Amino acid sequence: MGGSLLSKPAPVSPILHPGVQKQHGESRASGNRRLSFYQKKPLSEDTMKEIFAAGAHQFTGLPWFQFLVHTELCTMNYDGLSLKDDERVSHMVRMMENLKVPQTLKKPADELVPFIFDVKQLMHENPYHNFCHVTDVTQYMYTLILATNVAGRLRPIELAATYVGAVCHDLDHPGLSNAYQNSEHTALSRQYDGESPLENHHLTMYKRLRDKHGLLAHVESEEDKCRFDDVVSHMILATDMAKHGFLMKKIKAELEDPSFNPLHTQDGVNLLLQIALKCSDISNQARPWKVANRWNEAVYKEFYHEGDLDRDSGRDVAPLLDRRSNQIPKSTVGFIGFVVAPLYENYVAIMKRCAQLDDQIDARAVEECLVFLHKNKERYQKQADGDFVDQDEEDIELQNFPEDLREGLDSSGAASKLPGINGAHQTDEARRLNAKVKRSKLPMEKRET
């Protein structure tokens, strides 16, 4: 794995989308310094594993889940499309280990690896809903729960279920939507009476894998077993876009109560994880432009295949599925504006509520996602207007942060307005963390205080 995950350092630029400039400035008032979640992290996964094996992470003064924030899999700058399947499997296993799923389920990691391989085998070679998508969604969910510190507030059984829910959210996806299943009266549609046939099928397949691999066989508490299934079930069923409006209204209704803290009740945790998985499931356009654009090509390839089947069956073709008339840039602008951005804004709102009531929770990583989401929307709008946009254009946020600009920001205090977390201090943060790790390896009498 090593350093191959991200090819370039990705320091953050002070350029912000106007709609989030104010809230970023407010969120940085504390001066707390963190790495950007679009930057390459100072610790590779292999280095991190060595540090954990030696117990050196304990001397950094960070809880295990906050230590993981500094490692390379905790990033929004992840290009799953450029990986081979064996690399994807490796990442899935590493995330499972990092979140302590084997310890929680009381099963050695090597006994859980076949579960990951079965997930891979169940994913069809669809243009979009394939094993790459599953890995991408799981990695995004992994980053969200670590970057926001939610991982430290979930019960271990809930954290393990969060990982499994993300891994299993699209099991055995046929590459054709619920609308198609119901229009064709397929076996899946008949089996579930037309009610979320795909999501119910994914849930059924999860239960088969759960039993086949004995995921809960060594969990002694019946309450924990039920809680595990409850979390996974709520997460998977929430990915049906037919329920999107209901969940958005539910968030707004819950937030009207100023005392509502999602992390204090099981229902609240379920809601938070449902929204986090939904964000992860449609996170492509919150990735850097080059990655986002390639995912967009994949999803429309799958859409158009379904549209062709509808046309062949004599049915009307939905606008998004019609390769003859749909304009991808224009459609993507609408999708981001009416679906993705409002979802992320609601997720920011729910995380800010958590942060108000719990000073360990941090919503800034999600705010940073909005920066990239809006920038990508602007690019698609340019394309829709007939302007040229380089498909390989590098985000300015991912370019090297000039030393003179960094010094100027430090002296002016403008660094507090960087998106999400303070990218200007990335080098210092890496140096401090590495120094702590280095000290932890020295004999006690030689360590500096």
Q: Which residues are designated catalytic?
A: 129
Determine the Cα–Cα distance for residues 108 and 94; give it in Å rounded to an integer: 13
Beta strands in 231-299 (DSSP E): none
Amino acid at 21: Q
User: Could you give the angle at the alpha carbon of 153 between the alpha carbons of 115 and 213, nearest 5°?
Assistant: 15
Contact 145, 151 (CB under 8 A): yes
3-state secondary structure 8-61: CCCCCCCCCCHHHHHHHHHHCCCCCCCCCCCCCCCECHHHHHHHHHHCHHHHHC
- CA terminus-to-terminus distance, the chain: 34
> Which of the 8 DSSP states describes residue 219?
-
Determine the Cα–Cα distance for residues 235 and 231; give it in Å rounded to an integer: 6
Binding-site annotation, residues: 133, 169-170, 281
Tally the C-alpha atoms within 13 A of residue 102's C-alpha that lie toward its C-beta: 17
The angle, 0 to 180 degrees and rounded to 10, between the axes of the packed helices 131-147 and 109-122 is 130
Q: Where are the alpha helices (DSSP H) in 288-327?
A: 289-312
CB atoms within 10 A of CB 4: 11
β-strand partners of 43: 71
User: Could you give the angle at the alpha carbon of 125 between the alpha carbons of 391 and 135, nearest 5°?
Assistant: 70
Determine the Cα–Cα distance for residues 112 and 101; give it in Å rounded to an integer: 9
Contact 55, 437 (CB under 8 A): no
The angle, 0 to 180 degrees and rounded to 10, between the axes of the packed helices 266-281 and 156-167 is 30
Binding-site annotation, residues for Zn(2+): 133, 169-170, 281
Torsion angle of the four alpha carbons 101, 103, 108, 111, in this order, in degrees rounded to the nearest 10: -30
Distances in whole angstroms, Cα of residue 4 to Cα of each of 44, 70, 77, 78, 256: 9, 16, 13, 11, 45
The angle, 0 to 180 degrees and rounded to 10, between the axes of the packed helices 328-335 and 289-312 is 110
